Amino acid sequence: MIRFEQVGFRYAEKAAPVLAGVDLEIDEGELCLVVGRTGTGKSTLLRAVNGLVPHFTGGILSGRVTVAGRDTRDHPPRELADVVGYVGQDPRAGFVTDVVEEELAYGMESLGLAPAVMRRRVEETLDLLGLEGVRDRPLATLSGGQAQRVAIGSVLAAHPRALVLDEPTSALDPVGAEDVLAILQRLVHDLGLTVVLAEHRLERVVHLADSVVLLPGGGRPVAYGPAGTIMATSPVAPPVVRLGRAAGWSPLPLSVRDARRAAAPLRARLGEVPVPSPRTPASSPVASVRGLEVRYGPVAALRGVDLAVARGEVVALMGRNGAGKSSLLSALVGLVRPSAGRAEVLGAVPHELRARAMVRHAGLVPQDPGDLLYAETVAAECRAADRDMTTPEGTCRALFERLAPGVGDAVHPRDLSEGQRLSLALAVILTGRPPLVLLDEPTRGLDYAAKARLVEILEDLAEDGHAIVLATHDVEMAAEVATRAVVIAEGELVADGPVEEVLVSSPAFAPQVSKIFAPLPLLTVAQATTVLGDPA
């Protein structure tokens, strides 16, 4: 169905190759997962399937990519739209209409299909993806999961034979991600569609994959094979795989179900594991909200929220898409004015402070890191951050190198991968070391190694007395770094406590290790291997 024959690609004549010697064939009805560290060429490989590489991106493509027998060198994306559908990292960026039903029909209009065919296919797509209840809804009002399903539906309505998705669950809460992945699994098993997707949160999808493409980066040859075979040695692996390696389980489990079966003797042998004592804040709050209400017109995003964050705390702010997490962060940094109640940071009211004064109190990395990046090169962006924050020259660049090693000074921020761009925005904000650090989905686009480096930086900040609040759907990240978990639903605070208690008790937000060893209070692979090594 999809064939790469010794494919190589570089974005400019003198640039280092992004892909080299890619030789693989993905069969019809296969779910193929593309994995690799941040910046290793996953998005480039996906875009080569539908001809965006090189017709849209430019650059030098060698070798041959064929889809259903069509050579992408001879067929630009518009001539491949009937055989391959592509959904990028930001599904909303691809929307061209205002209403769900119109968006589903737009691609078919572009292909010149008859109105009767279009009407029938729209109805079929609405039913297939569970969108019949939002057919008349404006796209701007959809949740993240609904928007992702509409983006998938807009290409599915053309009846392609292959579907290509770039990080389809990166912006979704755990439940929304499961819904989207269940739909993809149904498309593969019931309709025989070929699905190729790249994903950093492998814990969500690796157990569904028939095959895995591992991109090692640096222009080195890719590895391709069954999921279990590739994961046995892959440098990027989800917690369940890393735990299986550490415990010596064979065959290597890819799912929580298989790992839980393998861990049954260990759970019985371990008996009880004491719950770690939560870290007690040793100071008064850095930030607090009391009776906070935020409204957008008639819609209440937050209602009566009371919360305080002290120095040294790392608070994981969790909840469904649209629950109000971003609104709370915006109130703490002064981007929105509360409709009722009060927010304070170091005794000041955020929305009353000028921006230059606010950055000395709190720093926010938003969901779209590009909002913080304005310079023409990485080096210029880092110099500007050092100057604005009055820190020694090289401070920001050192932080960025720690988060995303090996990126050149002359690279334009828009040419970075999603994860690298996020790392640069994080470095810009962390350069000023504000007392309150606010991160909105800080792991979107980051591989496991980059997340581990981020955890180290956040732990260092917490030990130095900074207060950290991260709004995240990444339960594995929350388990690694958070000392406290706060859950928001429909704008109201519904849970607040030590991370060990809140995450373990939640089916939706429990990390993989917790699910494997439940009811034991273990959250991370490091905790589990420590206990396994000393079961007494």
Q: What is the pTM of this model?
A: 0.86
* Integer Cα distance of 323 and 297 in angstroms: 16
Closest CA to 101 of 147, 146, 137, 149: 137
pLDDT for position 445: 80
Give me the tens of pLDDT residue by residue for the chain, a chain 536 residues long: 999 999 999 888 767 888 999 999 999 999 999 999 888 889 999 999 999 999 998 899 999 999 999 999 999 998 998 899 999 888 888 899 999 999 999 989 988 899 999 999 999 999 988 888 899 999 988 877 788 889 999 998 888 999 999 998 887 888 888 988 999 999 999 989 999 999 999 999 999 999 999 998 776 789 999 999 999 999 999 999 999 999 899 999 999 999 999 998 887 777 666 555 555 555 678 999 999 999 988 889 999 999 999 999 999 999 988 889 999 999 999 999 999 999 999 999 999 988 878 888 999 998 878 888 999 999 999 999 999 989 999 999 999 998 888 899 999 998 887 778 888 998 999 998 899 999 998 888 888 988 898 899 899 999 999 999 999 999 999 999 999 999 999 999 999 999 988 988 888 889 999 999 888 888 999 988 887 775 43
Tell me if the bond preceding 519 is cis, omega within 30° of 0: yes
Contact 428, 364 (CB under 8 A): no
Burial (0-12, 13-18, 19+ Cβ within 10 Å), 354: exposed
CA-based R_g, the chain, Å: 24
Report how far apart the first and last C-alpha atoms of the chain are (Å, whole number).
54
Q: Dig out the tokens for 218 from the structure.
A: 């640096």
Tell me if the bond preceding 285 is cis, omega within 30° of 0: no
Please, what are the domains in the chain?
2-237 (3.40.50.300), 285-533 (3.40.50.300)
The Cα-based distances of 23 to 63, 224, 255 in angstroms read 9, 9, 28
Q: Dig out the tokens for 3 from the structure.
A: 């064939």
Tell me if the bond preceding 54 is cis, omega within 30° of 0: yes
Strand order in the sheet with 362-365: 362-365, 436-440, 467-471, 314-318, 484-489, 492-498
Beta strands in 221-332 (DSSP E): 223-226, 285-296, 299-310, 314-318
Contact 513, 243 (CB under 8 A): yes
Closest CA to 31 of 207, 252, 241: 207
Closest CA to 33 of 238, 219, 172, 179: 238
Task: Say how many residues make up the chain.
Answer: 536
Beta-carbon contacts of residue 456 (< 8 Å; ≥ 6 apart): none
